[in-house]
Structure formats: structure tokens, C-alpha cells
Amino acid sequence: MNKNELIAFFESDLNKLITEMELYKNEENIWRVEKNISNSAGNLTLHLIGNLHTFIGKEIGKTNYVRNRELEFSQKNVPRADLIRSINETIQMINKALNALTEEELKKDYPILKFSKIETNEYLLVHLTKHLNYHLGQINYHRRLVDE
């Protein structure tokens, strides 16, 4: 897989995430949890933003991002407009970081151990697209369940 394909996958899913945020009829429902749903769409969105800024921005793009993973799941009631702005900033960060990668660098080892063994940058990026898509599906289901 080349970097342009990866960028396209990230952009597509992050734009779908923006659409999901916009489709909530009641903005308060973005933060709603009930029954066996332990994470709101808002917290999953914060988690995705933190995850991508950590593993792509900080490690590949050499940004100074400092992650607070606990806050991703405990922070509440961030306005929808702020979430969307952060998603758009994440798209820009991914474009900048991945456009700077050469195809050779894509095949090099990812700089930190994330899995049980060292993997390539390409492997990690594919993993991150899968992670994004997994939570995007949860957010879509959450919206249809709680935002009646």
C-alpha cells in the first residue's frame, strides 16, 4: 500500500466521522452513555484524535503532541464544533506527516514498539486505519441507538 492510498483512507474515514458528529440531532447525545455502552461518541472521537496524533503526528510527523489517554475517556461535553475542528486538524496533520514520508521510509521499522514485535511504518498505518474504522462503526451505531 502506498502513502497516497493510506492518506485517502484516513481522510475518507475522518470525513465520515465529521458527518457522524453532524448527524446527531441533539448535540448532548454525542456524550450520552446508557445500558452496556460504556463510551460515548464524543469520547471515542477524542480517543481517535489522540491516537492518531500520537502514532502518526508525534512519531512519524515529529510533532510535539503529548497524549493524555485518560482524558480522552473522562472528558465530557466538548462542543461539537470543537470536535469537528479537531478532526479537521487531524486530517491536516496526517496529510503533512504522511506526505513527507518516502516510499522507502514507509517500509522502515516504526520507531516504537507497539505490538509484540517490531513492525514497519506501513503496517502500523494500516493498523491505525483499521482502528479508526472500528470506532467509526461504533460511533455510527451509538448515534442510531441514542439519538432517536
User: Which three three-digit cell numbers place residue 93?
Assistant: 496533520
Domain that residue 140 falls in: 3-146
What is this structure's pTM? 0.96
In which residue are the cell numbers 503526528 written? Answer: 57
- For residues 135 and 43, give the distance between their C-alpha atoms in angstroms, rounded to a whole number: 10
**Pair 135, 44: CB distance under 8 Å:** yes
- Looking up residue 24, the CATH number of its domain turns out to be 1.20.120.450
Give me the number of domains the chain comprises.
1
Provide the β-strand partners of residue 120. Answer: 109
Q: What is the pLDDT along the chain (148 residues), one digit of tens a residue?
A: 899 999 999 999 999 999 999 999 999 999 999 888 889 999 999 999 999 999 999 999 999 999 999 999 999 999 999 999 999 999 999 999 999 999 999 999 998 888 889 999 999 999 999 999 999 999 999 999 998 7
